[in-house]
Structure 1
Amino acid sequence: MKPIWIVDDDPSIRFVLEKALGREGWSTRSFTQIRDVLTALSEVDGQDPERQPPQVLVSDIRMPGGSGLELLEQIRARQPGLPVIIMTAYSDLDSAVSAFQRGAFEYLPKPFDLPKAVELIRRAMEESLREDVAEAQLPLKAEMLGQAPAMQDVFRAIGRLSQSQVTVLITGESGAGKELVARALHKHSPVAGGPFVAINTAAIPKDLLESELFGHERGAFTGAQAQRRGRFEQAEGGTLFLDEIGDMPFDLQTRLLRVLSDGHFYRVGGHQALKAHVRVIAATHQDLERRVRSGSFREDLFHRLNVIRLRLPALRERREDVPMLTRHFLQQSARQLGVEPKRMGSDAMERLQNFDFPGNVRQLENICHWLTVMAPAQLISGRDLPPEVLEKVGPGPVAGTAPGDPLSREQGKEGLAGQDMPAQSPPEGMSPDWVLWLGREVQQLLQKGQTDVWEQMSRRFEAQLIRSALTITHGRRVEAAQRLGIGRNTITRKLQELGIEEDTDQG
């Protein structure tokens, strides 16, 4: 096991921690200055026992020659997965909050209780070891992730089909990742050099779908001012992915059947037959056999599509993949937002694995985006999970929101995209997808050319968090700060910075 590095200019602190950690059987390495730590980091060699990288780093926040926060920034750039515990005095709580914002694993107030300090370091070590294993197992730039037997069957099928251009029908619930499978089939196929064109047949109005698929000639209908190539022509020499094929209108099914049968089609308003050299992959969440029996889907088209069928399992059928997918989405979300990736605590991961995910992988991805924005610390605990998870797998307060008030508007202010959010928990089966409102609001601000979106949205979040907490605590600042997990000085400063007017008890 790699050593624990201790950084503190106080010899008594170093001595106490070295002895306590030594009794646990853990090796340590101590430093008194920031520059010595950075030098040691640049010289680490995993093969040399004398130059092992740290498993955990524990640093004081204020030392001659630099601060622990400066060291934290340097470490985040060099070793982003290394847990860093910042030691600080009670009077320096604002700096501890700043440490969290810069990616600290946890802060340790001075004077500290030694057994609690050892337990905190133990948790950091366990998390670090889990991340080491996860990084070793997680493929770089993976197209699809999954170790469950059902997913391995899908991967094997993609491999077997890699030399074929046969038509494939992908079935599975919404959000399970059917388009990812289609893209993988295209990438590992003889037509990989051609285009991959996708169309969701359920998302396009019936009157426009025919033109979208087959194109149209100039003057074919009102508004057709120029000739237009359809998706079949756009996908020439490659793959056309027809998503949600089960929702295709019945009369268009006949035209699609003709293309699949002899490879020929006509543009809308056209008289010249065109030849399609396209591989077709279709997908649906519908039970096509049932739709055939009900007369809403052509049986002959079904058999044309159902040459090879791949069933994509729901996420609840592959719960062992949830940790790997969660780490992947947290890292992906962090890259998109330009922040450090957060880590899942064991209790939070256990709750996620016990959740049924009615929205499948897409829902897990949305949850990870939510956690990246809303979880208060780098290590995510069970109580930090969003309401949709906590309501199903166990009660508990939700990070950053008052119960039943997921970022609802405050008297017409601080709303997301000008929309009123629900003032109570959503009905059974509904997801409080306020993150979608957030996404739309951010996009609108960016499209308007605003350059202070981060600050603007952060202020709105903070203002709503504090208002909600003060409402719950009937205006008691100290209690509101405790329940939000921040200091009294911090909430007082935020009230002033955000211009929040109070008519409350200051106690």
Structure 2
Amino acid sequence: MKPIWIVDDDDSIRWVLEKALARESLITKSFTNARDAMLALQNDTPQVLVSDIRMHGASGLELLQTVKAKHPGLPVIIMTAFSDLDSAVAAFQGGAFEYLAKPFDLDKAVELIRRALDESLRESSVEQTISETPEILGQAPAMQDVFRAIGRLSQSNVTVLITGESGSGKELVARALHKHSPRSSQPFIALNTAAIPKDLLESELFGHERGAFTGAQTTRRGRFEQAEGGTLFLDEIGDMPFDLQTRLLRVLSDGHFYRVGGHQPMKANVRVIAATHQNLESRVKDGLFREDLYHRLNVIRLRLPSLRERREDIPLLIKYFLTQSAKQLGVEVKRVSEPAMHFLSGLDFPGNVRQLENLCNWITVMAPGQTVEIPDLPQDLTPGAPSVSHTHISASVEEVGGRAHEAAPLTPAHASAASMSDKNLYRTGDSWTLLLEAEAAAMLAEGQSEVIDKLGRSFESVVIKAALKHTHGRKNDAAIRLGIGRNTITRKIQELGIDGAKDD
């Protein structure tokens, strides 16, 4: 791990921070002015940079600007006086991780630096992962299963059926199967069978002879011929017209086909990879898809998980897409704050990875600052509530959004209450106050007493657990984030029987 740089022309500030961080076994390097730090940046970089805002010579804001130009992912903490609000605002606009008001509490300063350090190490891990796996991104166990399947199928010529929701990346997987196969030097041809009108789809697939139909003025090669020796990817195969399914079955069975209007059989040396978001078994049962074609395609089935099933990959994907979007537009990469990242990780994303990529493009163009907070996100992600309320509930969104089966209702004894059992209530777009109202109504209807006390204890328990999870069990940090004292959170943890807390 690289050292933490401290930049301040006040000897006492540097000394105090150096000693406090040394007690945490953290290495530091100090500078008395911003210019020396700028020169050092030409050959070296810190893990975190802590700088005063007003110094002799160059200011901390100038140093921040230099750092962000060369190392946009490096967390910078700006130290500023309480009265210097304009400078604090300027620091955030310049991309500062956080500002530290002087005079500061030393324990709070160390915890803030710790958080910046964690963020920096996460950023480094993401950058390494992106550079190592630019083809398909995913660290979730479900995606690791997909990667293993691609590896096992790489040397095979077998037909593969890829299933998964729209936008989950089925074509990316098909391209990866082709890229790692012996056919990689030959063409990869993709065709969305749902996007081609029925009257033209046959010609698109198999080609046509001159004069085969009105407008066929020349002979045209179809996708099977274009993919000769390579791979043909047929997306949304479940929407293929029934009569064309028969012709496709023949090609898969004996490797021969005829152009439209042709009489000479054509030989197809093509690996077929098909994909669908539909349930083919149901379409077979409904008579919309040939059973024999289904069995011919379903030699090897590869199911892609939805983004809801791999939420741990959302931060990785967001940072990757923001980086790509910034490169395309020639702008600085934007950073998503920790509360906003927790919020986004709790969304369902019905459009899956494609929707997430579109969101990142929107953020790059439309979000006002370099650090994106929850209120900066599109309003349709948080309908029905003012943006400031999302900031207040962001800590609980991680518990509620998309993981209803893990999040306990406000009163555990009433988990079976109808008002709380409907998982639709846990959508991140709904205000948490609706859940509170529903639980209160259920308890009152049952004639319970001391409702406020019971709900209050449950509320405190949920919030403290969320804070402890956010701080990895560190009580002092959790107390700071919640705005309560250390003794108070210790007492609450004991009273409420909360596990997982540890002394800092």
CA distance, structure 1, for counterparts of residue 125 and residue 110 of structure 2: 23
AA paired with 1:178?
K
* Residues 1:335 and 2:327 are matched in the alignment: yes
CA distance, structure 2, for counterparts of residue 382 and residue 122 of structure 1: 23
The change in CA–CA distance for 1:380 and 1:174 in structure 2 (over 3 A counts) is same
Which of these residues, 217, 237, 241, is aligned with residue 233 of structure 2?
241
Pairwise CA distance, 1:54: 2.0
* Residues 1:253 and 2:245 are matched in the alignment: yes
The change in CA–CA distance for 1:54 and 1:225 in structure 2 (over 3 A counts) is same
Matched with 2:121 is: 129
Pairwise CA distance, 1:144: 1.5
Matched with 1:41 is: 41
Deviations 1:106-156 (A, max 9, x none): 455778787765554443223223323434554524212223332222222
Matched with 1:287 is: 279
The change in CA–CA distance for 1:208 and 1:120 in structure 2 (over 3 A counts) is same
CA distance, structure 1, for counterparts of residue 118 and residue 267 of structure 2: 60
* Residue range with higher mean Cα deviation, 174-183 or 378-387: 378-387
Q: Give ranges in structure 2 of 5+ residues lacking alignment.
A: 392-424, 430-504
CA distance, structure 1, for counterparts of residue 226 and residue 247 of structure 2: 17
CA distance, structure 1, for counterparts of residue 205 and residue 264 of structure 2: 16
Pairwise CA distance, 1:77: 4.7
Is contact 1:59-1:68 (8 Å) kept? yes
Partner of 1:318, secondary structure, is helix
CA distance, structure 2, for counterparts of residue 258 and residue 10 of structure 1: 81
Pairwise CA distance, 1:272: 2.6
The change in CA–CA distance for 1:121 and 1:190 in structure 2 (over 3 A counts) is same
Is contact 1:232-1:278 (8 Å) kept? yes
Deviations 1:160-210 (A, max 9, x none): 111111111111111111111111111111111111111111111112212
Partner of 1:143, secondary structure, is coil
CA distance, structure 2, for counterparts of residue 109 and residue 92 of structure 1: 9
CA distance, structure 2, for counterparts of residue 15 and residue 279 of structure 1: 67
AA paired with 1:363?
Q
* Residues 1:105 and 2:87 are matched in the alignment: no
The change in CA–CA distance for 1:271 and 1:103 in structure 2 (over 3 A counts) is farther
CA distance, structure 2, for counterparts of residue 228 and residue 124 of structure 1: 60
Deviations 1:427-479 (A, max 9, x none): x9x999xxxxxxxxxxxxxxxxxxxxxxxxxxxxxxxxxxxxxxxxxxxxxxx
The change in CA–CA distance for 1:325 and 1:332 in structure 2 (over 3 A counts) is same
Matched with 1:71 is: 63
Pairwise CA distance, 1:243: 0.1
The change in CA–CA distance for 1:346 and 1:100 in structure 2 (over 3 A counts) is closer
CA distance, structure 2, for counterparts of residue 38 and residue 287 of structure 1: 59
Matched with 2:394 is: none
Identity %: 73
Matched with 1:214 is: 206
* Residue range with higher mean Cα deviation, 260-269 or 88-97: 88-97
Matched with 1:371 is: 363
AA paired with 2:301?
R
CA distance, structure 1, for counterparts of residue 371 and residue 246 of structure 2: 55
CA distance, structure 1, for counterparts of residue 366 and residue 6 of structure 2: 30
Pairwise CA distance, 1:245: 0.4
Which of these residues, 158, 170, 177, is aligned with residue 162 of structure 2?
170
Matched with 1:270 is: 262
Matched with 2:32 is: 32
Pairwise CA distance, 1:285: 0.8
Matched with 2:193 is: 201
Partner of 1:163, secondary structure, is coil
Pairwise CA distance, 1:229: 1.9
Is contact 2:382-2:428 (8 Å) kept? no
Is contact 1:384-1:398 (8 Å) kept? no
* Residue range with higher mean Cα deviation, 53-62 or 114-123: 114-123
* Residue range with higher mean Cα deviation, 194-203 or 370-379: 370-379
AA paired with 1:242?
L
Which of these residues, 297, 304, 308, is aligned with residue 312 of structure 1?
304
Matched with 2:217 is: 225
Pairwise CA distance, 1:224: 2.8
Is contact 2:94-2:370 (8 Å) kept? no
Is contact 2:346-2:428 (8 Å) kept? no
Partner of 1:340, secondary structure, is coil
Partner of 1:153, secondary structure, is helix
* Residues 1:59 and 2:51 are matched in the alignment: yes
Q: Give ranges in structure 1 of 5+ residues lacking alignment.
A: 45-52, 400-427, 433-507
Deviations 1:313-345 (A, max 9, x none): 222222233333233223223322333333444
Pairwise CA distance, 1:377: 4.3
Pairwise CA distance, 1:307: 1.4
AA paired with 2:3?
P
* Residue range with higher mean Cα deviation, 302-311 or 236-245: 302-311
CA distance, structure 2, for counterparts of residue 276 and residue 97 of structure 1: 65
Matched with 1:449 is: none
Matched with 2:143 is: 151
AA paired with 1:40?
A
Matched with 1:417 is: none
Pairwise CA distance, 1:398: 7.0
The change in CA–CA distance for 1:69 and 1:230 in structure 2 (over 3 A counts) is farther
The change in CA–CA distance for 1:222 and 1:97 in structure 2 (over 3 A counts) is farther
* Residue range with higher mean Cα deviation, 189-198 or 23-32: 23-32
Partner of 2:234, secondary structure, is strand
CA distance, structure 2, for counterparts of residue 389 and residue 41 of structure 1: 39
The change in CA–CA distance for 1:69 and 1:114 in structure 2 (over 3 A counts) is same
Is contact 2:315-2:341 (8 Å) kept? yes
* TM-score under structure 2 length normalisation: 0.68
AA paired with 1:37?
A
Is contact 2:95-2:371 (8 Å) kept? no
Pairwise CA distance, 1:227: 2.6
The change in CA–CA distance for 1:372 and 1:94 in structure 2 (over 3 A counts) is farther
The change in CA–CA distance for 1:267 and 1:93 in structure 2 (over 3 A counts) is farther
Pairwise CA distance, 1:76: 3.4
Partner of 1:232, secondary structure, is helix
Q: How many residues are paired up? A: 396
Partner of 1:280, secondary structure, is strand
The change in CA–CA distance for 1:202 and 1:230 in structure 2 (over 3 A counts) is same
CA distance, structure 2, for counterparts of residue 334 and residue 392 of structure 1: 31
Which of these residues, 182, 199, 202, is aligned with residue 174 of structure 2?
182
Is contact 1:87-1:109 (8 Å) kept? yes
CA distance, structure 2, for counterparts of residue 141 and residue 149 of structure 1: 15
CA distance, structure 2, for counterparts of residue 192 and residue 136 of structure 1: 26
Matched with 1:496 is: none
The change in CA–CA distance for 1:193 and 1:25 in structure 2 (over 3 A counts) is closer
